[in-house]
Amino acid sequence: MLKSVILIGGPQKGTRFRPLSFEVPKPLFPVAGVPMLQHHVEECAKVKERIVVILYQLCHNKTKYLQEYAALGTGGGIYHFRDQILSGGPEAFFIMNADVCSEFPLPEMLNFQKEHGEPSSFIILGTTANRKQSMNYGCIVENQQTNEVLHYVEKPSTFVSDIINCGIYLFTPEIFQHIGAVFQKKQQDMLLDEHTNGNGWHRAEAIRLEQDIFTALAGQGKLYVYKTPAIWSQIKSAGSAIYASRLYLNQYHKTHPERLATNKDGGPRISGNVYIHPTANIDPTAVLGPNVSIGTGVTIGAGVRVRESIILHGVTLQDHSCVLNCIVGWDSTIGKWARVEGTPSDPNPNDPYAKIDSETLFRDGKLTPSITILGCNVTIPAEVIILNSIVLPYKDLNRSFKNQIIL
C-alpha cells in the first residue's frame, strides 16, 4: 500500500498571496480552473494512493486531514502524525508541499527507488535551475553515476549545485527512525538549556526535513535524487499562480483535454490554452487567451479581451473591457471600455533552466511592477485604466490608478 502526505505549511495566513488569501486558503485557490490542491490529489489517485493532508480540517471521501497544534516544520509535522501515516502498513509514502506546480512523476519515482540503492532508500525529486537562482532553493550535489545525494544545503549563500529540491519526496517508514533521532537530540538539548521556560517540547518537535534530516543523510548511501525534466514551479505569490496556471493548462492537452475550451460556432474566440467553467456566460465576440481561466458564473460582454489572467467566481467583465496579466477577484465588476493590466513576472524565456523569481513588493521605495490583483467585490468604473496595482476587497474605484496599493 502507498500513501501520500500533502503538507500545507505556515500559520495559514498566506501573506504573500494577499489579498486573495483573505477569501480562501492559498491551497484552495483555483489554478487552471481547479483548486491548487486538486492537482496533487488527482496525480496521487492515479497510483491508487491513500491521501493524508496535514493542516486543514476539511472533509473528503478518500482524504484524511490532520491539523498540527503548533508549527512543527516539514519533518516535525509528519513525525507528530507518524502513527496515522503508518496505519495500514504502507511500504512507502510520498511527501509533497502544497505550493508547488508539477507534473508529479510519482510512478517514475517509485521505479527509480526500486532501481537505486537499498529498498529503504529515500528519494528527492530534483530539477535543474540556473546558477544564480539555484541559491534560492535547497541545492543537491549528486554522484552522477549512482544519483546518490552526497551533499545537501538549503538556500546556500554561494553556488553549490544547479540541482534543486522540488519539495516532493518518496520515503519508506524508516525515515521516522532518522527524524526520531533528531527529535531525541533536540529534546535532550532543550532539557540542558535552562532558558527553555517550559517550551522545550514544542521547540524539540519543530524539525525541518531539509536542514535537519537531508543534510545529515547526505553521503550515507540512503538518500537519492530523481531529476525530472518536466514542468515544475513554486506557487508563492499571485504572480506565480498565473505562471502555474499556464503550465497546467498546457499540461491539460495530455492529462485533461476536456478542460480546454475550443472554438465553436456561437462561442467566443479562443486563442491558445483556455479553461472556461460551464456556468460562465460569454459573448461570442469576446476574445480569450492564451493562458486564461474563467470561473463559475462569470459574465463576459461583447468585445471583451482577456489574456494571461485568472477570472474568479461571479466576475462581470462589461462590454469592450480589456484584462491583461491580472487576477480578478470574486464577484468583482470591470466597467465598459476599462483596461486592467499588469506586468508579467515570468521566468526568462531565453533560459531553459530559469525559474520564477520570488517578487519583493517594493523596490527602491516603489511598488514593483507586477500583475494587477483585484480583491473580491471590487468595482472598476467605465473608461478607466488600472495598471500594475493591487486593490483590496470591497473597493469602488472612481478613477485610474498606476503602480499603487489601493487600501
Return the SS3 of 35.
strand
- Say what the pLDDT of residue 349 is: 86
- Mapping DSSP onto H, E and C, the string for 319-339 reads CCCEEECEEECCCCEECCCCE
pLDDT at residue 68 tops 60: no
For the stretch 154-162, contacts whose Cβ atoms lie closer than 8 Å and that sit 24 or more positions apart, written own/partner, are: 154/208, 154/210, 154/211, 154/214, 154/215, 159/131, 159/134, 159/135, 160/134, 160/135, 161/134, 162/128, 162/129, 162/130, 162/131, 162/134, 162/353
Provide the pLDDT confidence category of residue 209 given band limits of 50, 70 and 90: confident
360-400 tens-digit pLDDT: 666 666 677 789 999 999 999 999 999 999 999 999 999 99
Residue 12 CB-half CA count within 13 A:
13
Q: Kindly tell me the burial class for residue 131, based on how many C-beta atoms sit within 10 Å of its own C-beta (0-12, 13-18, 19 or more).
A: exposed
Residue 159 CB-half CA count within 13 A:
7
From residue 60, give the alpha-carbon distance in Å to each of 21, 39, 90: 22, 15, 20
Provide the pLDDT confidence category of residue 153 given band limits of 50, 70 and 90: very high
Examine residue 19 and say whether the peptide bond preceding it is cis (omega within 30 degrees of 0).
yes
Cβ(112)–Cβ(121) under 8 Å?
no
Residue ranges of domains in the chain: 2-234, 260-402
**pLDDT above 70 as % of the chain:** 84
Q: Report the C-alpha gap between 196 and 187 in whole angstroms.
A: 11
260-402 has the same fold as 2-234? no
Average the pLDDT over each of 16-20, 56-60, 318-322, 363-367 and give the range with the smallest value. Answer: 56-60
Sorted by sequence, the CB contacts under 8 Å of residue 145 that are 6+ apart come out as none
**Chain-wide mean pLDDT for the chain?**
86
The sign of the CA dihedral 186, 188, 189, 193 is positive
Instruction: Give me 77's grid cell.
Output: 509535522
Query: Which amino acid, 97?
Result: N
230-240 tens-digit pLDDT: 999 999 888 89
Place of cell 535524487: 225
- The sheet carrying 309-311 orders its strands as 274-276, 292-294, 309-311, 326-328, 372-374, 390-391, 405-406
Sorted by sequence, the CB contacts under 8 Å of residue 252 that are 6+ apart come out as 32, 259, 260, 273, 275
28: DSSP letter: G
| pTM score, whole prediction | 0.88
pLDDT at residue 58 tops 50: no
Q: Report the C-alpha gap between 407 and 392 in whole angstroms.
A: 6
Cβ(339)–Cβ(375) under 8 Å?
no
Closest CA to 310 of 374, 235, 380, 367: 374
154-185 tens-digit pLDDT: 999 999 999 999 999 999 999 888 888 877 77
Q: Name which residue leads in pLDDT, 24 or 242.
A: 242
State which CATH number among 3.40.1260.10, 3.90.550.10, 3.10.129.10, 3.90.1300.10 fits the domain covering 2-234: 3.90.550.10
* Cross-strand bridge partners of residue 170: 94, 123
Q: Which CATH superfamily includes the segment(s) 260-402?
A: Hexapeptide repeat proteins (2.160.10.10)
92-111 tens-digit pLDDT: 999 999 889 999 999 999 99
Mean pLDDT of 143-158: 93
209: DSSP letter: I
Closest CA to 165 of 173, 157, 155, 174: 155
Instruction: Give me 348's grid cell.
Output: 526568462
